[in-house]
Structures are given as C-alpha cells and as structure tokens.
C-alpha cells in the first residue's frame, strides 16, 4: 500500500478522534466536579476548625481565669500557650483533610483581650492533578479575659416542640442551643454571671425548667424535648415573662456578682399558632411580647423555616430587626443562637 493511501485511511478513521475528543473534554469536566468536591470539603473543614478554635480558646481562657492572676502578663501567656494547642488538636482528632502548621496566641494586658491565629492548610483531593495540593484555611478567634460590668444576664428560652419539629429540625435545635450553652459555661466557669431557664410548647405549655445558675439543667431540659401536637405559644411566652420579671432575678445577681442583669427572652418557632394569623394565641403572644419590651426585657426571636404567619409573629415580637433571626437550615440556626450568645454576653468569642 502506498504511503499516500495509508495517510488517507488514517485521516478518514474516526475512532481515534472520538477518543482524543473525549480525553480533551473530560479534563475540564473532571476539574469542575473536583472543584465542587474540594470546595465542599474545604468548607466543612473550615467550620470544624473554627469550632475547634473557639472551644480551645475558651478552654484556655477558662484555665487562666481559674487560678492565674490576669495582671501577670507572663503567667497568662504561659498558661494560654500551654492549654490552647492540646485542646485544639483534641477537638480535631480524626480529621485527615488538613495540614496543621501551628498557631500564634496573644494577650493584651490593657484590654484583657486574647486573640489566636491558627495556620491550617486544606489538602485537596481532585485539584492536586493540576498542582494545587493545598488551600489556605486559616482561622482567627478572639475573646475577652473577663466578663465586663453589666455582662451578667438571666435568659429564658421559649422553644417550639410541635409535631412539625420532628426529626432533623429537633436535632438541629438541640445542637444549636447546646453549643450556645457550652460557650456560656466556658465563659463563666464558676457560674457567677449567667442564669438560664426554658419552657417548651406545642398546643399547650410543657413543664418548665426554672431559671437557675446551673446551665446544665437547661441543657438537659432541651435535650429531653420531643416533637408532638399543634402550636400555641401564648402560655409559654407568658411564663417566660413572669419568671424574668420576678424581682428575685435582680436580687440573685446583685447578691452574687453585684450587677444589674440583662433580662432576655429567646422565642423560637417553626410554625403558625393554631387559628391562623389573627388567632387569639397570636394576639396574646404579641401582647406579652409588648409588655416584655416595655419592661426592658430584650426579646430575641428565631423563625426556623417558619411559614409567613410564624415569621410575622416573631418579627412583631422581637425587640427590633436586629433581634430577629430567620434561619433556613442547621448551620444558619446554629449561627443564629451563636450570634444571640455573643450579643448578650459581650462577644465571648468571635471566629472567622
């Protein structure tokens, strides 16, 4: 066969062209899929690193406050450095998608503030084929060494346990409240500044957990909640108002920490009160919220994937728009309670 004939057959043959075309087109497709995978894993890692950093920083600060003179800068720095890294690495145990490069922690002797910067790299899975083996995933966090004057509070949670909260919603709520309480306990390890209570409701008010210095009682109460029944928030919101307005709340704080506490109600729902937008339950709930605001009780509201009617009620109840939260998923719910915790406790910890 002549060379010209062989060349003609080669250029007429299509199977190799298809393979080449597929190979060329497959690479960007694979990189696109890989980007989604790596981005998702990197986002999950950043969340875990941020949570581990917050927890380790609060634990280190709590250790300092337990038995170190905060006016002794050298001693404070020594304790912070001794405590932070072991707590952080323990919280990251089992995570293999990162490379830990160390941390820096600093204490400001004037403001009593503590700041930490954790140097982390995310180890990519797919992007390694184009030479991108690491993504920077550093996290910074800051906290105060002590509760400022006026930082004490009494908080009462009003939580929806109706049937629509069954399953993942209830798990999300327990996780969000649990994280907030855990941060409070680390920031106030001796139980001298923060008091909490809670009540759950469906079509009627459940038994309540009275306000107490022992925050673990509220955590236990919330963890025991189960979903059932309809929705009527009026009695539960009123119970929160009654307990917060009791003069003994002021006395408890003044006798223990010498402060006038903030009085705080956190009202959460995922639904509508029975009877519709203009129901008696809505009218009573709104009236109690109005009394609470008038009596200087801060009202935070959380409409967790709630319908329009529930959103409207909680917007009306909140002290103002900054006290209203409308989370649509678990992460947003956790962030909502975390932001409430930061607001009422003087920004205990802030990571980014």
Tell me the Ramachandran region of residue 112: left when phi exceeds 0, alpha when psi lies from -120 to 50, beta otherwise.
left
CB 282, CB 235: distance < 8 Å: no
Kindly indicate the confidence band of residue 306, based on its pLDDT and cuts at 50, 70 and 90.
very high
In the chain, the N- to C-terminal Cα span, in Å, equals: 71
In the block, tokens 């006395």 appear at 251
Residues forming a β-bridge with 154: 195, 263
Residues forming a β-bridge with 265: 156, 299
Average pLDDT over every residue of 77-84: 95
Name the DSSP letter for residue 329.
S
88 CB-contact burial (10 Å; exposed 0-12 / middle 13-18 / buried 19+): buried
Backbone angles phi, psi at 69, to 5 degrees: -70, 115
Q: Using DSSP, state whether 272 is helix, strand or coil.
A: coil
- Residue 232 half-sphere exposure, CB side, CA atoms within 13 Å? 13
Among 116-120, 131-135, 289-293, 335-339, where is mean pLDDT lowest? 131-135
Distance between CA 288 and CA 232 in Å, rounded?
A: 13
Look at 129 and 202; give whichever has higher pLDDT: 202
Q: Using DSSP, state whether 210 is helix, strand or coil.
A: strand
Query: Where do the structural domains in the chain lie, given as residue ranges?
Result: 30-144, 153-346
Name the DSSP letter for residue 118.
E
Kindly indicate the confidence band of residue 244, based on its pLDDT and cuts at 50, 70 and 90.
very high
How many of the other CB atoms lie within 10 Å of CB of 224? 11
For residue 166 the two structure tokens come to 């069954």
Predicted confidence at residue 186, as pLDDT, reads: 77
Predicted confidence at residue 136, as pLDDT, reads: 84
Average pLDDT over every residue of 75-81: 94
Kindly indicate the confidence band of residue 8, based on its pLDDT and cuts at 50, 70 and 90.
very low
For residue 185 the two structure tokens come to 């306990």
Q: Using DSSP, state whether 219 is helix, strand or coil.
A: helix
Predicted confidence at residue 83, as pLDDT, reads: 94
Q: Using DSSP, state whether 259 is helix, strand or coil.
A: coil
For residue 116 the two structure tokens come to 């930490």
In the block, tokens 């910067």 appear at 117
How much is the pTM? 0.65
Helix, strand, coil percent content, the chain, rounded in steps of 5: 50, 20, 25
Distance between CA 184 and CA 178 in Å, rounded?
A: 10
List the CATH code of the domain at 153-346: 3.40.50.410
pLDDT of residue 42 exceeding 90, the answer is no
> Nearest Cα to 193, choosing from 256, 143, 246, 251?
256
Please list, in sequence order, all residues whose beta carbon lies within 8 angstroms of the beta carbon of residue 176, skipping any fewer than 6 positions away. Answer: 330, 333, 334, 336, 337, 338
CB 128, CB 103: distance < 8 Å: no
Please list, in sequence order, all residues whose beta carbon lies within 8 angstroms of the beta carbon of residue 133, skipping any fewer than 6 positions away. Answer: 123, 124, 127
In words, the CATH class of domain 30-144 is alpha beta
CB 289, CB 239: distance < 8 Å: no
Torsion angle defined by CA atoms of residues 332, 335, 341 and 343, in that order, rounded to the nearest 10 degrees: -90
CB 333, CB 327: distance < 8 Å: yes
């Amino acid at each position: 066969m002549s060379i010209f004939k062989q060349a003609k057959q080669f250029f007429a043959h299509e199977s190799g062209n298809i393979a080449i075309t597929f190979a060329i087109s497959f690479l960007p497709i694979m990189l696109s899929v890989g980007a989604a995978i790596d981005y998702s894993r990197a986002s999950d890692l950043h969340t875990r690193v941020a949570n581990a950093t917050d927890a380790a920083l609060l634990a280190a600060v709590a250790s300092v406050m337990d038995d170190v003179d905060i006016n002794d800068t050298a001693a404070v720095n020594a304790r912070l450095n001794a405590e932070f890294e072991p707590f952080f690495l323990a919280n990251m145990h089992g995570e293999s998608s990162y490379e830990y490069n160390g941390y820096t922690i600093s204490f400001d002797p004037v403001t009593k503030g503590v700041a930490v910067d954790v140097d982390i790299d995310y180890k990519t899975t797919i992007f390694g084929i184009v030479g991108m083996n690491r993504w920077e995933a550093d996290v910074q966090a800051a906290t105060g060494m002590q509760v400022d004057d006026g930082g004490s509070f009494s908080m009462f949670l009003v939580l929806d346990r109706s049937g629509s909260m069954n399953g993942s919603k209830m798990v999300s709520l327990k996780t969000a409240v649990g994280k907030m309480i855990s941060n409070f306990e680390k920031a106030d390890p001796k139980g001298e500044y923060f008091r909490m209570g809670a009540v759950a409701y469906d079509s009627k008010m459940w038994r309540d957990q009275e306000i107490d210095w022992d925050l673990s009682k509220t955590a236990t109460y919330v963890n025991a909640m189960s979903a059932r029944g309809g929705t009527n928030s009026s009695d539960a919101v009123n119970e929160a108002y009654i307990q917060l307005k009791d003069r003994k709340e002021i006395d408890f704080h003044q006798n223990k920490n010498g402060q006038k506490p903030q009085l705080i109600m956190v009202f959460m729902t995922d639904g509508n009160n029975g009877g519709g937008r203009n129901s008696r339950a809505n009218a009573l709930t709104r009236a109690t919220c109005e009394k609470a605001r008038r009596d200087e009780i801060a009202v935070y509201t959380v409409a967790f994937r709630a319908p329009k009617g529930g959103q409207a009620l909680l917007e009306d109840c909140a002290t103002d728009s900054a006290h209203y939260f409308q989370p649509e998923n678990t992460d947003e719910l956790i962030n909502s309670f975390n932001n409430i915790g930061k607001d009422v406790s003087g920004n205990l910890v802030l990571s980014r």
